[in-house]
Structure 1
Amino acid sequence: MIRVWLIVGVIAALFYINSIVDCAMAERERVRGVPKAAWIPIVVVFAVIGGVLWFTVGRPRRGNGGRVRTIAPDDDPEFLRNLERDRRQQERIRRLEQELSDLDDTPKKKSGDSDGRRDA
């Protein structure tokens, strides 16, 4: 009989710790029922009953069964649009730099100057 009570105690302690940690890690804006600041004392004071209340009433609902949907970059249309925009922008910068370089390389001739230099 002592083994049964020991196993029940260990399971209750693990459930208690899990409910406290889950309550503390939940996002404040998504907690249901009372505010998050009230849930932590409820779970701590009422132990197992507080944990059951937390998991049934207060825990935030998650869409997709709690799974976060990730999209690979090559499947994300927004990412691909940004790549194309960045490529066009880099090409435009390269062209402008080339035009500036061409303008710097061409000698400027003044009227009356044959080599474009002025000597004092």
Structure 2
Amino acid sequence: MVRVLPVLIQLALLVYCLIDCIQTDSALVRNLPKAAWVLLIVFLPLVGGVAWLVAGRPARGAAARSVPWPSTATAGFPEYERPRVTGPDDDPEFLAGLRDSDERHERMLRDWEADLRAREQGLRDGGPAGDDGTPEPRPGS
């Protein structure tokens, strides 16, 4: 058991340091590029792991490089220049188009109702009505 303990400690250090190095932001890694730290940890597990913990790991409280606005959040525009996207309920042009569409449908419905009344009146007055509401001549007349 005593002979296995150093191997387990070295393996645990390798795994911990490798995972920590891979998950660390590249901008926060100190002294060497991130790829160099990964290679150092893999090829020299004990020395590379200790070196990573001492000299490569980001200092406590280190923050990533900050920019005035993150490009992914505002698509490259500062807050005051960002295009404002509104929903359809806030768009006056959209609402006006709905009103026009409703008025057009109401007119169409009134025309259909008038056409239906004319056809019904034509049927009551003397026979089947045509498309224009006038009675069609009866066969044999």
TM-score by length of 1: 0.52
Which of these residues, 6, 9, 20, is aligned with residue 8 of structure 1?
Answer: 6
| Cα separation, 2, equivalents of 1:101 and 1:61 | 64
> Residues 18-37 of structure 1 correspond to what in structure 2 (within 5 A)?
18-37=16-35
Residues of 2 paired with 1:61 and 1:97: CA distance? 59
Q: Aligned residues, how many?
A: 86
- Quote the offset at 1:39 in angstroms: 1.0
Q: Deviations over 1:84-119 (max 9, x none)?
A: x87x63323463343222442465xxxxxxxxxxxx
Paired residues for 1:75-94 under 5 Å: 89-93=87-91
Aligned-pair Cα RMSD in Å: 3.3
Q: What residue ranges of structure 2 are gaps of 5+ in the alignment?
A: 63-83, 108-141
Query: Greater relative contact order (Cα 8 A, min sep 6): structure 1 or 2?
Result: 1
The normalised TM-score by structure 2 is 0.46
Give 2:98's aligned amino acid: Q
Q: Which moved more, 1:18-27 or 1:4-13?
A: 18-27
Residue of structure 2 equivalent to 1:57: 55
Assess, with a 3 A threshold, how the Cα gap between structure 1 residues 17 and 97 changes in structure 2: closer, same or farther. Answer: same
Aligned to 2:15: 17
Where is the helix percentage greater, Structure 1 or Structure 2? 1
- Look up the match of 2:95: 95
How many angstroms apart in 1 are the aligned matches of 2:101 and 2:41?
A: 70
